[in-house]
Amino acid sequence: MKGNVELIIDGKRLDGRKPLEMREVEMKVNVVRNADGSAYVRFGKTIAIAAVYGPTILLPKHLQEDKLLVKVRYSMLPFSVDERKSPGHDRRSIELSKVIKNALAPAIMLDEYPRAVLKVYVEIIQADGSTRVTGTNAASLALAMAGVPMKDLVTACSVGKINDTIVLDLNGIEDNNSQADMAFAMMPSKNRVTLWQMDGQLTKEEIKKMIKIASDACKKLYDMQKKAIRGAFK
Ligand code: UDP
């Protein structure tokens, strides 16, 4: 049963982290030569690569809208998880593609590109929990590198409750055995939340606490994202 696995021993998580400690985070941009913008983001053993193509004119014409159409495709590579994952789109990847798209769209100046399409690919190379937020961070960096006009970067992280303790940045075993978990994304400079998904049972106080923890963590990740972008223009 969820919540019964011992995930915190003597105040430390199984990977040695304190409850509110993030895994090691790495961010790189311009990692895919043929994309208009791309990025690599690693949270511990979870690795996402995002590549952006466009905006380009959307064809056939009858699909065109008076604003930019953003298409996101999230997928987990067959070797990204312990048990080989069959390639191709499944229910989960369709859902996560939509979740990531909805997290990114509020930041994109969609009206600037009527009749156009923007394609965003999020590939999970290695999965150990929190892939949707890792992928969102990578996609947001890739959009910026593609020169897509944005109101702000989108920064994301996960928070959860394991063994009655609130923790930041869930890894795979924590995610699968959590009492609750939350995926969170925001535009940090606007203080605007763009993704908030929750699973499990939490009190109002716990939810408030978790949102505060997530938004503080996002502000730190935001600085890392900006540093990665600046690094590319040095
Ligand atoms: N996972 C897996 N195989 C799958 C789907 C997920 O091993 O087919 C693992 C993977 O480590 C993933 C975690 O379960 O990160 C949690 O997946 P979830 O659907 O909750 O989304 P995520 O936390 O990755 O955004």
**Which pLDDT belongs to residue 32?**
97
Residue 128 Cβ contacting ligand 1 at under 6 Å: yes
Token representation of residue 71? 């298409």
**Which pLDDT belongs to residue 234?**
84
For residue 2, pLDDT beyond 80? no
Block residue for tokens 């999020």: 122
pTM over 0.85: yes
Residue 172 Cβ contacting ligand 1 at under 6 Å: yes
CATH topology of domain 8-232: Ribosomal Protein S5; domain 2 (3.30.230)
Residue 20 Cβ contacting ligand 1 at under 6 Å: no
For residue 11, pLDDT beyond 90? yes
Q: Which helix (H) or strand (E) holds 42?
A: strand 37-43
Measured in Å, residue 132 CA sits from the centre of ligand 1 at 9
Residue 175 Cβ contacting ligand 1 at under 6 Å: yes
Q: What is the mean pLDDT of the chain?
A: 96
Rounded percentage of the chain residues whose pLDDT exceeds 90: 95
**Which pLDDT belongs to residue 3?**
57
Task: Give the contacts of 73 (CB within 8 A, at least 6 positions apart).
Answer: 89, 93, 97, 119, 120, 121, 122
**Which pLDDT belongs to residue 170?**
98
Q: What is the mean pLDDT of residues 218-223?
A: 98
For residue 26, pLDDT beyond 90? yes
Under 8 Å between Cβ of 122 and 50? yes
Q: What is the mean pLDDT of residues 213-221?
A: 98
Task: Give the closest residue to 135 by CA, choosing from 41, 38, 222, 28.
Answer: 41
The string of pLDDT tens digits covering residues 38-92 is: 999 999 999 999 999 999 999 999 999 999 999 999 999 999 999 998 888 899 9
**What 3-state class would DSSP assign to 164?**
coil
* Residue to mutate (ligand 1; options 2, 76, 175; most atoms within 8 A of CB): 175
Q: Which helix (H) or strand (E) holds 98?
A: helix 91-104
For the chain, the distance separating the N- and C-terminal CA atoms, rounded to the nearest angstrom, is 51
Domain boundaries, the chain: 8-232
118/132 Cα distance (integer angstroms): 19
Q: Whose CA is nearest to atom 23 of ligand 1?
A: 130
